[in-house]
């Protein structure tokens, strides 16, 4: 089954920063917020370019964000937590995931320097999406880290490590460390433990 992902947006760092500031977001964890150094003329030019791209709508007096994009930015700005998904083997894009009414996923576009990709998916389909994109059950030399979205402080982490001849999943929380032998069922169980039930109630 193919997971449902809502429309994806490819934004430059400047565009991303403008939209975040317009939503009242001055700080979040994941990517730098840029675009604050633009003068009025540069800002107006950038806004009109964003209208042409469909990110903004203008009636000649004011600019409004596309509704779906505004939903992405609002979730990102309001999220209390961020899940950092990093897999090195096989090499997969690093995801910064923010929970809300849906899950907003930010991807730094390594092949397009200075661009960020935003997309949304339903929270109950989030784990399935990671499976279909190859993050699970592989997760070789990878980690998942649950962070505070304002301070970046680490709250919980899940890693896959080789101990002797065995591959072991290690979940670290404030309560301590839990280990399980690697299996598809164990990964799903550990993911639910990491995210407090599958990322449903964290936002």
Last residue of a domain, one of 38, 72, 106: 72
41 and 104 share one domain: no
| Count of structural domains within the chain | 2
Last residue of a domain, one of 17, 39, 72: 72
What integer pLDDT is reported at residue 137 of this predicted model? Answer: 60
In which domain, by residue range, is 53 found? Answer: 6-72
Q: Give the model confidence (pLDDT) of 103-147 as tens digits.
A: 999 988 766 667 889 988 888 788 888 888 887 765 566 788 999
pTM (2 decimals)?
A: 0.82
Among candidate residues 10, 5, 22, 18, the one with its CA nearest the CA of residue 106 = 10
Q: Give the model confidence (pLDDT) of 82-93 as tens digits.
A: 999 988 767 788
60 and 158 share one domain: no
With 0-12 / 13-18 / 19 or more C-beta atoms within 10 angstroms meaning exposed / middle / buried, residue 49 is middle
Q: Give the model confidence (pLDDT) of 169-190 as tens digits.
A: 889 988 889 889 888 888 888 8
pLDDT of 203 higher than 50: no
């Amino acid at each position: 089954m193919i997971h449902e992902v809502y429309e994806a947006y490819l934004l430059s760092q400047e565009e991303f920063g403008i939209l975040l500031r317009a939503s009242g977001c001055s700080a979040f964890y994941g990517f730098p917020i840029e675009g604050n150094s633009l003068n009025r003329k540069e800002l107006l030019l950038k806004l009109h370019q964003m209208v042409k791209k469909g990110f903004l709508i203008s009636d000649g007096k004011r600019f409004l964000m596309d509704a779906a994009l505004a939903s992405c930015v609002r979730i990102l700005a309001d999220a209390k937590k961020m899940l950092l998904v990093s897999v090195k083997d096989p090499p997969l894009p690093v995801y910064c995931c923010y929970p809300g009414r849906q899950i907003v996923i930010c991807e730094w576009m390594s092949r397009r320097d200075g661009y960020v990709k935003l997309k949304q998916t339903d929270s109950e389909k989030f784990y399935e999406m990671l499976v279909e994109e190859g993050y699970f059950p592989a997760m070789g030399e990878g980690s998942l880290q649950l962070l505070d979205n304002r301070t970046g402080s680490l709250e919980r982490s899940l890693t896959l490590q080789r101990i002797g001849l065995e591959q072991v999943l290690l979940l670290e929380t404030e309560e301590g460390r839990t280990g399980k032998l690697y299996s598809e069922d164990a990964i799903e169980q550990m993911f639910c433990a990491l995210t407090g039930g599958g990322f449903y109630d964290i936002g």
